[in-house]
Amino acid sequence: MKTFYMIVWLLPVIFMLHDFEEVIMIRAWLQRNKSYIRARKGKPVPFNIQASTASFTVAVAIEFVILSVITILSYLLDNYVVWYGAFAGFTVHLVFHLYQWIRFKKYVPSALTSVVFLPVCCYFLYKSAVFLGYDALTLILSTLIFTVIIAVNIAVLHKLMVRFDRWLDQYKLTVN
């Protein structure tokens, strides 16, 4: 029981540690790989965003708040279906980052923490599934639903980053 609750509270912690790698490395990585990215003409490029570090950090903060609220409510309501789906969706997200690394053929921000956390998250999901005793259909549906929600959320946040950058640009120009 105590181990399970520790796992529950680790979701937002693991998420933040993973996203710290992205926040810290994104600008330097884009600068370092500028020529390689340009040479890829038409091929997908991971983290091909023009947003500032500030707006990227706001998106990360929004995701952190969402995961924290899910974690807190799951704990308070003693119902972990949504939490399990969020954790599983995050784990799928780690797999996607590893795919990006392989496809890009160079380090991408998030690769190191994905390598470290993927086996940990898989183990935590297994232990949680055993502890919770949910049937396979519940776990699969929860995982699929939250994987889609996370993908949509990331797409929406990428669009909002551009708007937030515009707002920051206007804020800089406002004189008191």
- The string of pLDDT tens digits covering residues 47-80 is 767 788 899 999 999 999 999 999 999 999 999 9
- The string of pLDDT tens digits covering residues 4-33 is 999 999 999 999 999 999 999 998 998 998
* CA dist., res. 154 & res. 59, Å (int): 8
How much is the mean pLDDT over the chain? 92
- The string of pLDDT tens digits covering residues 141-158 is 999 999 999 999 999 998
Per-residue confidence (pLDDT) for residue 48, from 0 to 100: 63
Kindly state the tokens that stand for 143: 């995982």
- The string of pLDDT tens digits covering residues 108-147 is 999 999 999 999 999 999 999 999 999 999 999 999 999 9
pTM of the model: 0.90
Per-residue confidence (pLDDT) for residue 51, from 0 to 100: 83
Residue 118, burial from CB neighbour count under 10 angstroms (0-12, 13-18, 19+): middle
Where along the chain do its domains lie? 2-173
- Which are the contacts of 122, defined by CB distance < 8 A and separation ≥ 6? 91
Per-residue confidence (pLDDT) for residue 139, from 0 to 100: 96
